[in-house]
Structure 1
């Protein structure tokens, strides 16, 4: 048998050690370790960038929130300042509030006088509503509640009278709702609220439910009739004005007379706007009165609170919208 060669007796451990000591393998180990460190470094850089971006986004969010809060505070201060100025003006007698002189004051600047009167009306209305809310929360008796409810109902009558006087001076101002906030104007119907919208009330007895349903149906029918009348008036007025444009192209005496006649017709049609506003306010007033007759005193109190809260939220919505951050 042939003797085993010394080379074949080389230990496996020696072979492994030699392989590890070979220059090529050592270089591979160094490259692999460097690649791992590079990946770790890149991962750390991405994490740091994300963290920096998150911090910057949070900082900007805090700044926007701070600016928004500051705008709300500025709006509140401006509103308070305006109310104080109005109060000082009333104390100095700049605006005449007595019913005897109201029509006279309207002739000078009807819109300004009505806006001032409405601001005063709203201030008193809010005070009465707070009084009613306190009585309801304190579970006051029907006699006390009835007294406050009647006071608020009478106060509603006052604003309808004021609107009637204002319409005689400037019906466009009243119908357009420029005396209200922008959000309120979005839901305006003929210078005020839709009567049928008042009748979404709490659970009622069967008899009350029947009465409210009938009242809601009659209110909607009256609203539709008035709305259709306004549309017909606007269409008729547009046709009259379009005809006057066609007749004003020539300077002849006949055309001038025709133009003046058509403009006189347009003015006559505009005069019916005041009548539409008066009918709409009468419908609002009658709906409130009928609602009070159908409901109990406590139910009427809660209904008036709901109506007031709805209007208050619309006014608050206008303030928040105007004070929002504008990016």
Structure 2
């Protein structure tokens, strides 16, 4: 089986393709936020069946993002860890190329204050399980990062721009392929944890609680997006001396 290599045209195509998808995805996300807020305004007048349908569609919307993100990572995982489609401000919130799953529980503490005792116990168990998996993935990413500073990566860096000889091209590809595979694996596990955490939280909450939680989570992401774009616009103006 031949190795996958990352070329500039392929990477550029992946970026353009995902950016087009992401722009449309954000528009749909804004529409979902409007729908979630509308349901919150009607409160308990909405039928549980209608709320559950909306919850399923919103979670499916996020799942669509992770599926498209996975396709980009399969082409070039390094792009996903340094995504040009997010602003630097947005990326400051990231943990393994996305929001940390535990953020859900911090939001829950301030947003959903009507959990039953059973819901509280289940949520606490899920919180501890999620934290343990986060630590495991963080340790795995640290091991990957350490490997970049260890032989044979250091030796490859020392060679600089010297033309490869005597099979060095093959050696370089071998090392990069190992690194790429490791990063794909930890990214896939992190995205799976994000998805699974959201689904399990949804199972614990009532329909009304779910709508409240999803509305807040969606609003937070969009707000961070807007702030990031504003900061970038201000930076560009400042760089021009205006």
Cα gap change, 1:294/1:257 in structure 2, threshold over 3 Å: closer, same or farther?
Answer: same
Distance apart, 1:170 and its partner CA:
1.9
Cα gap change, 1:221/1:141 in structure 2, threshold over 3 Å: closer, same or farther?
Answer: same
Q: Distance in 1 between matches of 2:30 and 2:133?
A: 29
Cα gap change, 1:293/1:181 in structure 2, threshold over 3 Å: closer, same or farther?
Answer: same
- State the superposition RMSD in angstroms: 2.7
Choose from 310, 314, 317 the match for 2:224.
314
Q: Distance in 1 between matches of 2:133 and 2:59?
A: 21
Choose from 210, 230, 234 the match for 2:141.
230
- Matched residues, number: 221
TM-score using structure 1 length: 0.62
Which has the larger Rg?
Answer: 1
The aligned residue for residue 153 of structure 2 is 241
Q: Distance in 1 between matches of 2:49 and 2:162?
A: 72
Where 1:177 maps in the other structure, the secondary structure is coil
Q: Distance in 2 between matches of 1:138 and 1:170?
A: 45
Choose from 110, 119, 130 the match for 1:208.
119
The aligned residue for residue 299 of structure 1 is 209
Q: Does 1:162 align with 2:97?
A: no
Cα gap change, 1:247/1:294 in structure 2, threshold over 3 Å: closer, same or farther?
Answer: same
Q: Does 1:196 align with 2:78?
A: no
Which of the pair has the greater relative contact order for Cα pairs under 8 Å at 6+ separation?
2
Choose from 18, 21, 26 the match for 1:114.
18
Q: What runs of 5+ residues in structure 2 fail to find an aligned partner?
A: 1-9
The aligned residue for residue 175 of structure 1 is 81
Distance apart, 1:245 and its partner CA:
4.5
Q: What runs of 5+ residues in structure 1 fail to find an aligned partner?
A: 1-105
Residues 32-74 of structure 1 show CA distances to partners (whole Å, capped at 9, x for unaligned) of: xxxxxxxxxxxxxxxxxxxxxxxxxxxxxxxxxxxxxxxxxxx
Residues 108-136 of structure 1 show CA distances to partners (whole Å, capped at 9, x for unaligned) of: 71111011111111111210121111011
The aligned residue for residue 40 of structure 2 is 136
Where 2:102 maps in the other structure, the secondary structure is helix
Q: Distance in 1 between matches of 2:95 and 2:170?
A: 32
The aligned residue for residue 79 of structure 1 is none
Q: Distance in 2 between matches of 1:249 and 1:111?
A: 26
Q: Distance in 1 between matches of 2:226 and 2:164?
A: 56
The aligned residue for residue 273 of structure 1 is 183
